Amino acid sequence: MAEETEGMLSPYRVLDLTDEKGLLCGRILGDLGADVIKIERPGGDLARNIGPFYHDEPDPEKSLFWFAFNANKRGITLDIETADGKEIFKKLVKSADIVVESFPPGHMEKLGLGYPALEKINPGIILVSITPFGQTGPYKDYKISDIVAWALGGYMFSVGDADRPPVRISHHPQTYLQAGAQAAQGAMMALYHREMTGEGQFVDVSIQDSVTRCTPERLTHHWDFSKRIMRRGGRLGLVNVRRIWPCQDGYVYAIYWSGQFARRWNSPLVRWMEDENLADDYIRQFDWDTFNMGETNNKETVDGIEKPTLKLFMSHTKTELLEGALKHNAQVYPLATTADVLENPQLAVRDFWVEVEHPELSKSITYPGPFAKTTEVPPRITRRAPLIGEHNQEIYERELGISREKLLMLKQAKVI
């Protein structure tokens, strides 16, 4: 793929010091055209060891996780904890607009590279820090993992079955992605502010804050409006009737509502059963106006609803059920597998998938495209993720003017 660089943020440079907790931030800015330089420790970032790997071959140069979140970045190696490394980093800061880091609070200050120090080098610099709990508060020095972030962010309490403990969401660190996306928003807002005022600033992003901010409306709104804690297993007290239903070739998602929404959304599903001669007397005569599963909590009721519904769903494929749902105005949604998503006709029409060349692998790999489509300078993927130290010579020698002899000495000293 040609390395075109024109984009909304093409005039700007980003120095990316993040680990897996913040990689998406630089990726988003890179999609928008910024010159993102991923700075790794000599030997490569530890995030390169996160799987899955290309062809299941564990290799720091074959991490699909690394590929996904470091496309559109150039890459250099640099140990900023050494004296020479700090000086080189400061030179890079002079021509940079944004620095993104995910070290523990206070780490950059200990290195003499905190915001006050960087501001003296480049008054317009924007420093974005992504940390577990932010730079302030009683938790600021606590460490975090994805499951801890989901738990303390409030979202995990609502996920899972009502008769079991809460469960984590996804195998991959979704909370880090939330923080990375919000860090990119903060960076762009700070950049816009700088364009108006000339002032750089420090942007403090908390992973816990990010998760709490993205909790679904049924958690925060129900507490705000009625001081109700929504329990696992459903909305408005519906805790027993299943939501995930088997069908001929997989599963679909469908819920039975109680309360004021019951007749509006449950009746179309019953009429669909009647059209296919699958509705029995129990569900055909059911009084949705008085239905409240939270109060009924009755096995006979659950079984009476589920039996004909299962017959309907098991009579069709996911595609047929989607078509039937549209025809009957019913709330039934296929659960797409990875293969389903890759072959989805809607995504194909929108050119969602793009091929990215990996010369070192002698092939191209299919990627999800950029996060948005725009009519002017659209976001795009212009380069694959960098190899370890791939752009050292390009950046150090050609852009910073460091001699090859000096670079060799720095490499031998493990500074780069």
pLDDT (mean) for 216-232: 68
Cα separation, 328 vs 266, whole angstroms: 11
User: Is the pLDDT at 3 greater than 60, yes or no?
Assistant: no
Give residue 235's pLDDT band: very low, low, confident or very high (50, 70, 90): very low
Instruction: Identify the top-confidence range among 254-263, 283-292, 356-365.
Output: 356-365
Q: Which amino acid is at 288?
A: W
Two tokens, residue 12: 């700007």
174-187 residue pLDDT tens: 999 999 999 999 99
Two tokens, residue 298: 């009755």
CA angle 364, 368, 374 (to 5 degrees): 115
Which of left, alpha, beta for 347 (phi over 0: left; psi -120 to 50: alpha)? alpha
Superfamily per CATH, domain 13-214+351-412: Crotonobetainyl-coa:carnitine coa-transferase; domain 1 (3.40.50.10540)
pLDDT of residue 18: 98
Give residue 216's pLDDT band: very low, low, confident or very high (50, 70, 90): low
The CA–CA distances, whole Å, from 62 to 190, 358, 382, 385 equal: 34, 10, 19, 10
pLDDT of residue 162: 72
pLDDT (mean) for 97-101: 98
pLDDT of residue 2: 39
pLDDT of residue 233: 58
Domain coordinates in residue numbering, the chain: 13-214+351-412, 244-337
pLDDT of residue 243: 86
> Comparing C-alpha atoms, which of 391, 388, 394, 387 is closest to residue 359?
387
User: Is the pLDDT at 10 greater than 70, yes or no?
Assistant: yes
> Comparing C-alpha atoms, which of 175, 174, 204 is closest to residue 187?
204
Higher pLDDT, 406 or 216: 406
pLDDT of residue 331: 95
129-151 residue pLDDT tens: 999 999 999 999 999 999 999 99
pLDDT of residue 294: 57
The CA–CA distances, whole Å, from 231 to 130, 215, 223 equal: 31, 14, 12
Percent of the chain with pLDDT over 90: 78
Model pTM? 0.89
35-83 residue pLDDT tens: 999 999 999 999 999 999 999 999 999 999 999 999 999 999 999 999 9
pLDDT of residue 58: 97
pLDDT of residue 237: 40
pLDDT of residue 221: 66
Give residue 5's pLDDT band: very low, low, confident or very high (50, 70, 90): low
pLDDT (mean) for 113-136: 98
> Which range (47-51, 298-302, 342-346) has the least confidence?
298-302
Which of left, alpha, beta for 398 (phi over 0: left; psi -120 to 50: alpha)? alpha
pLDDT of residue 240: 65
User: Is the pLDDT at 245 greater than 90, yes or no?
Assistant: yes
pLDDT (mean) for 351-358: 96
357 φ, ψ (degrees, to nearest 5): -70, 135
